[in-house]
């Protein structure tokens, strides 16, 4: 009997130890794996969370809202204790977020705000207004708008209207450029300047290319196109493809902005077809989210550095904003290769 009791006690202790050692589970919901940046975000998040000792359920939703809802539901059923969500449509997850709340699961909105819901706890992102400001100031300085006589011919693009970040990107850039537009130094020959008209749903490269094809009819008379404001690299790629197909060469290529430093776009920067791309090091953002997850699960104060900016329509979400920088032909090696983000071979121009 004593031996049996001892065996039972050992078994109980082992089971208890196993339970204590069981990793906390974190659900990571990403919008799509069809864009390079989300692949990198997901991979960095998974690697850093696992290195910190957490079990990770990483899912990509292929830009399908219903798929993402289902994935988050399964994460909740699967025992996730924290959810990290980069939404497809920030306003579409209200019901499943209520389920998370009912199960005492904390939610971190990742780089895209979750809107029209009280059931989000934190927001981790880059300073998205600053992203646009960097793009606007780059154009301002590149064309010397403050001193040159002009006028300069611009065309404008904005991101997906269902992504709340798109409006911050555009506002940051347009706040820099609009005074020049109002003064007549910037001319938009198409006349298309309002956000809804210039927005590209889903950030699709092909749709940006098609819109640029249409805009170029305004320049068939030989008018020089000086610059295109593009909020990110997937749009910049479509814009560049359109310009190249229309016969533009390096000698008359407009100044094009971007964001994310995707491989194809960085190669275009090296060759001179894109002027810059805002660099948001996903390793930095992933590391910050790991810190926030760690604090949540340990019951500690979660680090935030902004409690006034990001109103999701219900309340201002406590946020942590990482700082973006930009890469161009002069500094891409230091930012992207020397830091280990890319290898030289990855950026080798064929």
The average confidence (pLDDT) of the chain is 92
Using pLDDT thresholds of 50, 70 and 90, give the confidence band for residue 92.
Answer: very high
Average pLDDT over residues 322-333: 96
Q: Are 48 and 54 in contact (CB under 8 A)?
A: no
Q: Which of 35-44, 117-126, 192-201, 258-267 has the lowest mean pLDDT?
A: 35-44
Smallest CA-to-CA distance from 115 within 316, 319, 292 is with 316
Whole-number pLDDT of residue 16: 41
Using pLDDT thresholds of 50, 70 and 90, give the confidence band for residue 123.
Answer: very high
Using pLDDT thresholds of 50, 70 and 90, give the confidence band for residue 335.
Answer: very high
CATH of domain 22-120+281-323: 3.40.50.2300
- Which DSSP helix (H) or strand (E) runs through 60? strand 55-60
Whole-number pLDDT of residue 22: 57
Whole-number pLDDT of residue 14: 40
Domain spans in the chain, listed from the N-terminal domain onward: 22-120+281-323, 128-280
The percentage of the chain sitting over the pLDDT mark of 90, rounded to a whole number, equals 87
Whole-number pLDDT of residue 37: 82
Percent helix, strand and coil across the chain, each to the nearest 5: 45, 15, 40
Using the predicted structure, report yes or no on whether residue 5 has a pLDDT greater than 70: no
Whole-number pLDDT of residue 20: 39
Judge: domain 128-280, CATH 3.40.50.2300.
Answer: yes
Whole-number pLDDT of residue 11: 41
Intrachain domains 22-120+281-323 and 128-280 with the same fold: yes
Smallest CA-to-CA distance from 138 within 259, 257, 235 is with 257
Instruction: Give per-residue pLDDT as tens, 140-175.
Output: 999 999 999 999 999 999 999 988 889 999 999 999
Whole-number pLDDT of residue 15: 42
Q: Are 119 and 95 in contact (CB under 8 A)?
A: no
Instruction: Give per-residue pLDDT as tens, 191-236.
Output: 999 999 999 999 999 999 999 999 999 999 999 999 999 999 999 9
Using the predicted structure, report yes or no on whether residue 10 has a pLDDT greater than 60: no
Strand-pairing partners, residue 126, are 322
The model's pTM is 0.81
Using pLDDT thresholds of 50, 70 and 90, give the confidence band for residue 126.
Answer: very high
β-pair type (255-256, 186-187): unpaired
């Amino acid at each position: 009997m004593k031996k049996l009791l001892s065996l039972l006690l050992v078994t109980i202790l082992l089971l208890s130890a196993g339970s204590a050692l069981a990793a906390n589970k974190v659900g990571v919901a990403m919008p799509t794996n069809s864009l390079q940046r989300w692949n990198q975000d997901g991979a960095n998040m998974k690697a850093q969370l696992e290195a910190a000792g957490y079990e990770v359920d990483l899912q990509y939703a292929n830009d399908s809202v219903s798929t993402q809802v289902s994935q988050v539901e399964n994460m909740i059923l699967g025992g996730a204790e924290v959810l990290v969500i980069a939404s497809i449509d920030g306003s579409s997850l209200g019901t499943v977020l209520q389920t998370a709340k009912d199960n005492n699961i904390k939610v971190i909105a990742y780089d895209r705000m979750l809107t029209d819901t009280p059931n989000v706890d934190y927001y981790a992102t880059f300073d998205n207004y600053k992203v646009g400001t960097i793009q606007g100031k780059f154009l301002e300085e590149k064309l010397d708008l403050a001193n040159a006589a002009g006028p300069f011919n611009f065309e404008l693009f904005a991101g997906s209207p269902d992504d709340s970040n798109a409006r911050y990107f555009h506002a940051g850039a347009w706040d820099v450029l609009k005074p020049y537009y109002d003064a007549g130094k910037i001319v938009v020959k198409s006349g298309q300047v309002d956000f809804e008209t210039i927005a590209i749903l889903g950030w699709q490269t092909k749709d940006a290319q098609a819109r640029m094809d249409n805009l170029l009819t305004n320049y068939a008379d030989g008018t020089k196109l000086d610059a295109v404001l593009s909020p990110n690299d997937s749009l910049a790629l479509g814009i560049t493809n359109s310009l190249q197909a229309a016969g533009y060469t390096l000698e008359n290529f407009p100044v094009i902005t971007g964001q994310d430093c995707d491989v194809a776009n960085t190669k275009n920067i090296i060759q001179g077809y894109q002027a810059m791309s805002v660099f948001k090091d996903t390793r930095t953002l992933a590391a910050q989210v790991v810190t926030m997850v760690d604090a949540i699960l340990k019951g500690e104060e979660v680090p935030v550095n902004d409690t006034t900016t990001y109103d999701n329509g219900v309340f201002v979400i406590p946020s942590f904003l990482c700082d973006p920088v930009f890469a161009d032909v002069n500094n891409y090696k230091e930012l992207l290769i020397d830091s280990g983000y890319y290898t030289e071979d990855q950026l080798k121009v064929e």
